[in-house]
């Protein structure tokens, strides 16, 4: 929370607006993933034939695996950004500007890293749901 509430600026209104937008972004990510989970759950429960249920579950598994690969690529991207942050902090040329940029990038990276964790949580639940529907008759 400390990185989200960066108190270095004198503009308190921008700080609270930024905090509200970050929280709304997390809520949107949670709500959209929850809606997808609910849609998969209801669809798989309303289908009566095993063959229909297994086909839908397999297609959802393919889609979820593509999203999981994309999420893992985001983590790799954020690791590279973190490496660049560390290089920017250790450099002495243009000291204060470079450190300020590194702090801003660090804050944005931290905010961006939390969203893939939310995605992975829901995608794991969806994979477990689909696997249970495929394995049970």
Per-residue pLDDT at 86: 81
Task: Please check whether residue 6 is in contact with residue 15, taking contact to mean a CB–CB distance below 8 angstroms.
Answer: yes
Q: Where along the chain do its domains lie? A: 12-135
**Nearest CA to 107 among 16, 25, 26, 22?**
22
pLDDT bin (cut points 50, 70, 90) of residue 66 is: very high
pLDDT at 136 over 60: yes
How do residues 14-64 score in pLDDT, each as one tens digit? 668 888 998 999 999 999 999 999 999 999 999 889 899 999 999 999 999
Comparing CA positions, the residue from 122, 87, 115 lying closest to residue 101 is: 87
pLDDT for the residue numbered 88: 75
Half-sphere exposure of 54 (CA within 13 A, CB side): 7
pLDDT band (50, 70, 90) for residue 12? low
Q: What are phi and psi of 49, to 5 degrees?
A: -85, 140
């Amino acid at each position: 929370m400390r990185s989200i509430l960066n108190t270095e600026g004198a503009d308190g209104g921008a700080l609270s607006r930024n905090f509200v937008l970050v929280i709304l972004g997390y809520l949107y990510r949670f709500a959209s993933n929850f809606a997808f989970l609910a849609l998969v759950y209801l669809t798989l429960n309303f289908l009566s034939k095993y063959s229909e249920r297994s086909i839908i579950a397999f297609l959802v598994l393919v889609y979820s695996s593509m999203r999981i690969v994309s999420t893992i690529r985001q983590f790799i991207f954020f690791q590279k950004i973190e490496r660049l942050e560390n290089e920017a902090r250790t450099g002495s040329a243009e000291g204060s500007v470079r450190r300020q940029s590194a702090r801003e990038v660090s804050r944005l990276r931290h905010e961006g890293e939390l969203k893939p964790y939310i995605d992975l949580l829901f995608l794991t639940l969806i994979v477990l749901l689909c696997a249970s529907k495929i394995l049970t008759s």
